[in-house]
Amino acid sequence: MKNIAVSVEHVSKTFRMYHERNQTIKSAIMRGRTSVHEEFQALKDVSLEVPVGSTYGLIGRNGSGKSTLLKCLANIYYPNQGRITHYGRIAAMLEIGSGFHSELSGRENIFLNGSILGMTKKQVQAKFDEIVEFSGVEQFIDQPVKNYSSGMYVRLGFSIAINVDPEILVVDEVLAVGDAEFQDKCFGKFRDLKKAGKTVILVSHSMSTVTEMCTDVAWLDKGQLKAVGKAEPTVKKYLASIPGDPE
């Protein structure tokens, strides 16, 4: 499997959608019945392989299962069925401020996140200046991150994730929060990672970004894998399925 970074085999993920939920034992006894819910299948028997060194896009409409699959890839969710295998160290940037402690400063959160992602204190110290410089939050590095804007959260979180030196980087649409200059820096970093043989898996609603940045694409629709292949033809198939302009 030396040419495969991530293998997804027959993965399904189901969530319980609660209509009425008992919050306490007393409420369960008083109502005399259990919580009312239905099953929602977010992913249905999805199988794909992400090549080493590729920039791999996940596309589809809202609710298609893209972010659920990304969270399964990052070990935030676990499939109800199937298996996901990583061949290399993985780092994820999925939600604004994920992994941050709001009361801690940017400096303290760099060390906290670094340790969560498997770095030693010495390794974080060696990368600290590079992390801060890339994020562009030097002026606020000793301020509590609860005072940061959403853009500052994203810049710092992404900067930490890429400096863990992962073999596989998983990124959700959060980069859309950053300004144009920071997005250009991120895309430049993606190109550097690709040249270094690293793998990037990203979710984006911008088909121009996907076509420009990605080598391979998986199209999800209602939790099922609709198509998988090279970026340009797969994006064209997806756009052809949508009336009007999806951008």
The ranges assigned to domains in the chain are: 4-8+50-240
pLDDT above 70 for 22: no
246 — pLDDT class (breaks 50, 70, 90): very low
pLDDT band at 201 (very low <50, low <70, confident <90, very high): very high
Instruction: Name, in order, each residue with C-beta under 8 angstroms of 181's C-beta and a sequence gap of 6 or more.
Output: none
Query: pLDDT by residue (tens digit) across 134-176?
Result: 988 999 999 999 999 888 888 898 888 888 778 999 988 766 6
Average pLDDT over residues 53-65: 93
In Å, how far from its chain's centre is CA 24?
A: 34
Q: Is the pLDDT of residue 36 over 80?
A: no
Per-residue pLDDT band at 119 (split at 50, 70, 90): confident
Confidence of residue 200 (pLDDT cuts 50, 70, 90): very high
Mean pLDDT of all residues belonging to the chain: 86
Share of the chain above pLDDT 70, in %: 86
Average pLDDT for residues 45-70, to the nearest whole number?
94
* pLDDT class of 85 with cuts at 50, 70, 90: very high
Q: Whole-angstrom Cα distance, residue 241 to residue 103?
A: 46
Residue 244's pLDDT band (boundaries 50, 70, 90)? low
Asked whether 48 and 218 are in contact (CB, 8 A), the reply is yes
* pLDDT: which is higher, 166 or 21: 166
Q: How would you classify the pairing of strands 55-59 and 36-51? A: unpaired
CA distances from 226 to 102, 108, 129, 197, 239 (A): 40, 43, 43, 28, 13
Higher pLDDT, 216 or 30: 216
Q: Is the dihedral of CA 39, 45, 51, 55 positive or negative?
A: negative
This prediction's pTM: 0.81
pLDDT at 28 over 90: no
Q: Tell me which H or E stretch contains 72.
A: helix 66-73
Q: How is domain 4-8+50-240 classified at the architecture level of CATH?
A: 3-Layer(aba) Sandwich (3.40)
Residue 23 predicted with pLDDT over 60: no
d(CA 39, CA 15): 6
Question: What number is the average pLDDT over the span 62-71?
Answer: 92
